[in-house]
Amino acid sequence: MNNQEKPLLQPIKIGNLTIKNRVAMAPMNMNYTDPGNFVSKQQCAYYAARAMGGTGMIIVEAMKGTGHEISNNYKKYNNLAIYNETYVPKLASFVEHVKSYGAKIIAQVSIGPGAQGTRDVGAVQPVAASPIRYRIVPSKLITGMGSPTNIKPTLALARTLGYQEKISTDLTKAFEQIVNVSGMHMVGEMPREITKEEIKELVNDYGYAAKCTKLAGFDGLEIHAPHGYLLHSFISPRLNQRTDEYGGSLDNRLRIIKESIASMRKYVGPDFVIGVRMSASVEISGDITPEHTNESAKKLASYGADFIHLSDGSYECMSDFLPNKDGQVIAKAKIIKQGLTIPLICPSVHDPKLADEAVRNGDVDMISQGRQQIADPEWVNKYAEDRTEDIVRCTRCNEGCIKRFMVALPARCTVNPVVGHEEDIDVYAKRSPESLKNRHWQTIAQIGKEPSA
């Protein structure tokens, strides 16, 4: 098959932005950020490696879109930040570095982890749409964390984190025991209900973060509303028990995202790409289903969203959030795409044949990869060169990426020894030689387009 016949290598338009192929890198916090939430040299090189590998669109890990303390209960993981101009100069250089290798770059911007946050390292109590804590479902554990009948991997991680007391052999009880001592995210702290005044502040901050995102040269922005975080708690009929205008009907539960998009458009205008990431479903009674997400996605398109990027599950349903099986979200994506007029991106498709089929059949418009891009940044190039047998396959072991992240260590990979050391490799640490000949940064005129009314 020549490249013109390969579905994944065909260009696609998102709003006014043309992406050279149908493969996106999904956002994943790797714990590489410099102190103070500033971008690091390692992050520049890490993302550049994936751009060099042919990936059409890079979506950068969740960046703080507000400095408000109620959004800061994920501070132990030191996310990047973009809520004021202090962060823009280094991010602008980072963006130029990655774009010099031909990829488009999108900033995923977050206004808080919601109930999935923690008071660790001095943060305040988590906030959410309603005061409902999360509990991991034992049957929904990710690879490497055990099962309801085998808690040894969970026990080993708890011991690593310093919990030395006897742990129950009942996994649910074990989660309850170790959560507040070891720092493991097994049972969440009780969040308080966020106030309407705080919502207004965060919505306004989201708009200003969009301004900074555009100023830094990003090609677009992705609103962070998936897998159990703050905005997800508003979308979910199970987690949102509010009786004000932000609860009840679907229109009300989506109101905070609608207002956020409007706030952003005031600063960036109608042409800057704004997408939304959201979970396809949460497989707990009374929560969102693919049919529910289909309805939500169509409403978000009417509010001005330019694309929908799916995730799945939440901390409660970890093996949906971080799938143990390849392509397990495709069937849900097929339902969600019905009647949707903007591009739909489906995550966690590692096998090229499966990805080809999903795009060719029209089940999805693009696929995104997180852990697979960690394992092999050259995935797209190898696919384009008919060298799929050379692709280093992610084993979904979660040892170097997820489990190290859980204990606030920088990510590594069991099948790619280079991960975490890209800054030491000149070809990644330096910009493309072509970038010295061809401008790939934005002029002031391009940044300062007339804002929408």
C-alpha 408: how far from chain center: 17
Q: Where are the alpha helices (DSSP H) in 76-161?
A: 88-99, 152-160
- CA–CA distance, 311 with 82 (Å, rounded to integer): 23
Residue type, 389: E
Q: Which helix (H) or strand (E) holds 298?
A: helix 290-302
Q: Length of the chain, please?
A: 453
Exposure pattern of 103-135 as b/e (b: 16+ CB <10 Å)?
A: bbbbbbbbbbbbbbbbeeeebeebbbbbebebb
Which is it for the CA torsion 18, 313, 123, 44, positive or negative? negative
Q: Which residue in the list 46, 74, 87, 229 is annotated as catalytic?
A: 229
- CA–CA distance, 260 with 278 (Å, rounded to integer): 15
- CA–CA distance, 431 with 97 (Å, rounded to integer): 5
The angle at the Cα of 229, spanning 452 to 13, to the nearest 5 degrees, equals 45
Active site residue 229: yes
Catalytic residues: 229
